């Protein structure tokens, strides 16, 4: 992973404006970084979907919000 900043934020204290380019003449230069997206394979998503469909077959309510949260939890585990 490249650990170089993707942008810089700097602030002109007199003017109060923000700029996204690195400017060494400015007193405040903050590097901004990105991180790789946490993704799931199709198989992982299908397995989570099957769990939720199985719950519905058992008489529980299938909640789209619960399904989405399960997907997000699984991605955060990575």
Number of independent structural domains in the chain? 2
The answer on 50 and 29 residing in a single domain is no
25, 14 contact by CB (below 8 A): no
Q: Would you state the pLDDT for residue 66?
A: 81
Q: Would you state the pLDDT for residue 2?
A: 62
The answer on 46 and 31 residing in a single domain is no
Residue numbers of the domain that contains 8 = 1-35
pLDDT in tens, 58-78: 666 667 778 888 888 888 887
The answer on 49 and 21 residing in a single domain is no
Q: Output the six-digit token pair for 22.
A: 């690195």
The answer on 51 and 24 residing in a single domain is no
The answer on 46 and 26 residing in a single domain is no
The answer on 52 and 31 residing in a single domain is no
- Cα torsion 15, 19, 23, 24: sign: positive
Element (DSSP H or E) covering residue 8:
strand 7-11
Q: Using the 8-state DSSP alphabet, how is residue 37 labeled?
A: P
**Residue 12, C-beta contacts closer than 8 angstroms, at least 6 positions apart:** 19, 26
Q: Would you state the pLDDT for residue 75?
A: 87
pLDDT in tens, 5-63: 777 777 666 666 666 667 667 667 777 777 777 889 999 999 988 887 776 656 666 67
């Amino acid at each position: 992973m490249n650990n170089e900043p993707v942008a810089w934020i700097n602030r002109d204290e007199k003017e109060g404006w923000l700029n996204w380019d690195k400017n060494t003449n400015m007193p405040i230069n903050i590097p901004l970084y990105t991180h790789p997206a946490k993704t799931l394979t199709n198989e992982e998503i299908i397995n989570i979907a099957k769990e939720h469909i199985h719950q519905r077959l058992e008489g529980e309510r299938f909640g789209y919000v619960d399904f989405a949260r399960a997907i997000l939890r699984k991605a955060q585990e990575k």
